[in-house]
């Protein structure tokens, strides 16, 4: 019974690619500690746990719905045919039920945080779930994904303060352009397949070379929004090594991917961005206290 339960949990963790939470979660933690530090609030471990749970539930819902919405597409694509639904590991109905449960838990969790967070939760849910449908009608789908993940820092900040502020919004801009840029890189793998299936993406619209150029521009904008908070806010000296490493890793991932060579896309997408997010969060949070 225990083994069966563990196996079932593992299947759903794989379905939602739980390890990829590492992209936006560090920025949510930045938003949380920024709110604590700038508003001289007491650290509440309960509130931090609620913020983390919100992140987990929202992302679980978004990823499960994405797999459900793409089930008929995924089975045709050799790269995605091994995913849990097309491979028959998880039934579509189960994935949809998992989406509904996590959506409910997300909204319920925000109710225990504060009124503004609770009232905004359906909007956040609409964005993160809506992304899964955008590839069927707009090449701007990458920006919708970026927008969904960009809610992490400002959402965590609001969870503590109950209000919006400029600096956490800047960190949301970092995430928006950073994620949009690396999602374009990831979409390069499916350019030909997407064309055949009449799916929309920046690589389909612009081609590999121009799509990579746009990704560079987006990451350049992300780098600007990394620098601005360091200038405008009262961050300590530790902020700048973190900013330097983050920007350097943005540059490095573009050295890995060429229009004629996509063999290192996964390294650029998963490893480089995961390290960049964690390292930047460590230095930024450290700069608030040292």
Tell me the C-alpha distance between 199 and 220, whole Å: 27
pLDDT for position 7? 60
pLDDT of 220-244, one tens digit each?
999 999 999 999 997 889 999 999 9
Q: Long-range contacts made by residues 243-248, C-beta under 8 angstroms, separation at least 24? A: 243/280, 243/283, 245/276, 245/279, 245/280, 245/283, 246/276, 246/277, 246/279, 246/280, 247/223
pLDDT for position 13? 65
> What mean pLDDT value characterizes the chain?
92
Residues in the chain: 290
pLDDT for position 16? 64
Tell me the C-alpha distance between 89 and 213, whole Å: 38
Angle at 106 between CA 132 and CA 23, to 5 degrees: 60
Tell me the C-alpha distance between 181 and 179, whole Å: 5
Nearest C-alpha neighbor of 49 from the set 175, 159, 124, 127:
159
Tell me the C-alpha distance between 50 and 28, whole Å: 12
pLDDT of 15-62, one tens digit each?
766 656 778 899 999 999 999 988 777 889 999 999 999 999 999 999
Provide the CATH topology of domain 23-289.
Answer: Tetracycline Repressor; domain 2 (1.10.357)
Angle at 60 between CA 190 and CA 71, to 5 degrees: 40
Residue 60 Cα to chain centre, angstroms: 11
Read off the pTM: 0.93
Q: At what angle do helices 239-256 and 166-187 cross, to 10 degrees?
A: 20
**What percent of the chain has pLDDT above 70?**
94
Q: Which two tokens stand for residue 44?
A: 């509440």
78-107: average pLDDT: 93
pLDDT for 153 beyond 60: yes
pLDDT for position 158? 96
133-143: average pLDDT: 96
pLDDT for position 285? 95
Q: Work out the burial of residue 240: count CB atoms within 10 Å of its CB; fewer than 13 is exposed, 13-18 middle, 19 or more buried.
A: middle
Alpha helices, DSSP H only, in 189-238? 191-196, 202-206, 208-232
Confidence of residue 3 (pLDDT cuts 50, 70, 90): low
pLDDT for 115 beyond 80: yes
pLDDT for position 271? 84
Confidence of residue 14 (pLDDT cuts 50, 70, 90): low
Confidence of residue 269 (pLDDT cuts 50, 70, 90): confident
**What percent of the chain has pLDDT above 90?**
77
pLDDT for 148 beyond 90: yes
């Amino acid at each position: 019974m225990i083994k069966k339960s563990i196996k079932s949990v593992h299947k759903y963790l794989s379905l939602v690619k739980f390890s990829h939470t590492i992209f936006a979660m560090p920025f949510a933690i930045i938003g949380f500690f920024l709110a604590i530090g700038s508003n001289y609030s007491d650290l509440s471990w309960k509130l931090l746990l609620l913020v983390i749970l919100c992140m987990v539930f929202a992302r679980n819902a978004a990823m499960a719905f994405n797999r459900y919405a793409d089930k008929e597409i995924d089975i045709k694509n050799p790269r995605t045919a091994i995913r849990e639904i097309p491979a028959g590991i998880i039934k579509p109905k189960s994935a949809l039920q998992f989406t509904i449960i996590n959506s409910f838990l997300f909204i319920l969790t925000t109710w225990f945080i504060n009124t503004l967070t609770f009232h905004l939760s359906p909007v956040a849910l609409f964005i993160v779930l809506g992304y899964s449908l955008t590839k069927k009608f707009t090449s701007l789908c990458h920006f919708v994904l970026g927008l969904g993940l960009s809610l992490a820092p400002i959402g965590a900040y609001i969870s503590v303060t109950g209000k919006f502020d400029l600096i956490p919004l800047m960190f949301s801009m970092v995430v928006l352009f950073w994620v949009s840029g690396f999602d374009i890189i990831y979409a390069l793998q499916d350019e030909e397949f997407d064309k055949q299936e009449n799916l929309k993406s920046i690589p389909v619209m612009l081609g590999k070379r121009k799509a990579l150029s746009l990704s560079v521009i987006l990451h350049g904008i992300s780098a600007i929004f990394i620098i601005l908070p360091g200038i405008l806010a009262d961050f300590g000296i530790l902020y700048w090594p973190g900013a330097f490493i983050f920007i350097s890793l943005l540059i490095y991932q573009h050295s890995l991917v060429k229009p004629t060579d996509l063999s290192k896309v996964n390294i650029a997408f998963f490893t480089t961005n995961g390290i960049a997010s964690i390292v930047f969060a460590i230095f930024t949070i450290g700069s608030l206290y040292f």
